[in-house]
Amino acid sequence: MMKRCKECSSEMVISREAYRYNESGLPNVVLKDVEIRRCPNCGTQEVPLPRVAELHRAIAVVLVHKAARFLGAEVRYLRKYMGWSGVDFASHMGVNPETVSRWENDKEVISSQSDRLLRLIVVRGWPVEDYSVDDLTKIDDRKDPPPVEVELRVRDRRWQSAA
Ligand SMILES: [Zn+2]
């Protein structure tokens, strides 16, 4: 199906490629085999991601299974996933909004207890199958955890791990 550029009406060139999903706010989310449309005339690029709500849920599921403490960008992602402002999030977590801001900007490391509470809030908010509270005992609380790595692709019409 031919697509025309919204800017200059040239015919878009369509390819399927791995796409680093920087719009998620997370550094290491790679989506495999997604459609990318580029205008050969003006350089406009479109990435029409399918099933975005499900994609965001799939990323949240990877995050709550992460075996290391959350980084600021991951806290921010999960707060937005829950649909909360900083103030809403602070009241659910029982902290000051300034604390949320410090977590999200990596000025303060999220406490082990807050990290675990956030996982349970996310899991409770939109239930994740196969999430055992025993997973909370496996979290590595070291101070400088690596960011989560996410690779997803659409398979059988669902976003699934590409690993
Ligand atoms: Zn164009």
62-101 per-position pLDDT tens digit: 999 999 999 999 999 999 999 999 999 999 999 999 999 9
Q: Is residue 85 part of a domain?
A: yes
* Amino acid making up residue 20: R
The answer to whether residue 24 is domain-embedded is no
Residue 22 lies in a domain: no
Look up tokens 């690029």; give the residue: 45
Task: Please check whether residue 2 lies inside any domain of the structure.
Answer: no
The answer to whether position 136 is within a domain reads yes
How far apart (Å, rounded) are the C-alpha atoms in residues 99 and 104?
A: 9
Tell whether 135 is covered by a domain. yes
Q: What's the gap in Å between 4 CA and the centre of ligand 1?
A: 8
Q: How far is ligand 1, taken at its centre, from the CA of residue 1, in Å?
A: 17
pLDDT band at 156 (very low <50, low <70, confident <90, very high): confident
Paired sense of beta strands 29-38 and 150-155, if any: parallel
Q: How confident is the model at residue 145 (pLDDT cuts 50, 70, 90)?
A: confident
Owning domain of residue 103: 52-145
In a domain, 120, yes or no: yes
What is the distance, to the nearest Å, from the Cα of residue 97 to the centroid of all Cα atoms in its chain?
A: 22
Question: Ligand 1 centroid vs 42 CA: distance in angstroms?
Answer: 4
pLDDT level of residue 38 (50, 70, 90 thresholds): very high
Gap from CA of 55 to ligand 1 centroid (Å): 28
Residue 78 in domain: yes
Cα(15) to ligand 1 centroid in Å equals 16
Read off the pLDDT of each residue in 40-44 and give the average, rounded to a whole number: 96
Distance from Cα 131 to the centre of ligand 1, integer Å? 46
CATH of the domain at 85: 1.10.260.40
**Other C-beta atoms lying within 10 Å of the C-beta of residue 124:** 10
The number of folded domains in the chain is 1
Instruction: Give the closest residue to 76 by CA, choosing from 39, 35, 117, 118.
Output: 118
Compare 145 and 56 and report the one with higher pLDDT. 56
Distance of alpha carbon 21 from alpha carbon 146, whole angstroms: 18
Three-state DSSP at 22 gives: helix
